[in-house]
Amino acid sequence: MQAPRRVLAKAAVPRGLLHSVDTGAAADGPGVRFVYFFSGCPLRCQYCHNPDTWRFSSGREITVDEAVEEIRPYARFLRFTGGVTVSGGEPLAQRAFVGELLKRLRNELNLHTALDTQGYLGGTVSDTWLDAVDLVLLDIKHIDPAHYRKLTRVDLAPTLAFARRLAHLNKSVWIRYVLVPGLTDDPVHIAQLGDFLRELGPIVKRVDVLPFHQLGAHKWKSLDLDYKLAYVKPPSAAKVAEAVQILRERGLPAE
């Protein structure tokens, strides 16, 4: 009697929830970028300018094939002028889908890839997953654990652990630090951040000090969310320059 043949289940192709795209971004990595903004984020940052991306339900369902086809018309141009950035939300909240997409973009379209992340979920992806990432845009929102939790509602330790892991992997990193008056502009904390970044070594290719702005305030209102920073003004040019100088004094490429 012939033994029954084993039927192997076909691996499910992940589907993602894409909030939106930007086909010509100039501030999300080197050069001109195509940016995928994915839905879902475990953080609840007080100064978030994209609270509309927090919930997975804010995104439209998409396959990896469909996501690749959205960028294909721009691929030749991007190959010479910039690349693609996955952002959010928090792209690592959809790590299976995003990981497959990054591999396709690298292997099929030969594009430079950047991961824009807060690092909180960095421990959920493998070193192999990170192979398809050329650059990490790491958003370290505060260096003090208590202040970080108050600002984001989550712990700081996973983000710092992810940063150290990137150093171990020799993965290029741009650091992003939003300067918010009364929250993240204390010179003592900025100096502590600089000391930590200096420990990471040459992987830190750039440190961007980003002035807080109110461009996302209307989103909080439209979502009926309690926006605690409604009356906070952007930092002065002098305060931004002070933060940049503190970081530069520690040998960091701050701008």
What are the tens digits of pLDDT across the range 35-75?
999 999 999 999 999 999 999 999 999 999 999 999 999 99
* Burial class of residue 53 (count of CB atoms within 10 Å of its CB; 0-12, 13-18, 19+): buried
CATH architecture of 15-248: Alpha-Beta Barrel (3.20)
- The DSSP 8-state label assigned to residue 94 in this structure reads G
User: What does the pLDDT average to over 212-234?
Assistant: 95
Tell whether the model's pLDDT for residue 5 goes beyond 90: no
Query: Over the stretch 72-115, which tens digit does the pLDDT of each residue have?
Result: 999 999 999 999 999 999 999 999 999 999 999 999 999 999 99
Higher local confidence (pLDDT), 137 or 10: 137
Query: Structural domain boundaries of the chain?
Result: 15-248
Tell whether the model's pLDDT for residue 3 goes beyond 70: no
Q: Do the Cβ atoms of 109 and 61 come closer than 8 Å?
A: no
Confidence label for 13 from pLDDT (cuts 50, 70 and 90): low
Query: Over the stretch 196-220, which tens digit does the pLDDT of each residue have?
Result: 999 999 999 999 999 999 999 999 9
Average predicted confidence (pLDDT) for the chain = 94
Confidence label for 12 from pLDDT (cuts 50, 70 and 90): low
Residues 6-14: contacts with CB under 8 Å, at least 24 apart: 13/63, 13/64, 13/100, 14/64, 14/94, 14/96, 14/97, 14/100
Tell whether the model's pLDDT for residue 9 goes beyond 90: no
pTM attached to this predicted model: 0.94
Sequence-distant (6+) residues with CB within 8 A of 224 are none
Identify the pLDDT of residue 132: 98
First-residue to last-residue Cα distance in the chain: 75
Q: What are phi and psi of 211, to 5 degrees?
A: -65, 135
Tell whether the model's pLDDT for residue 137 goes beyond 70: yes
Confidence label for 10 from pLDDT (cuts 50, 70 and 90): very low
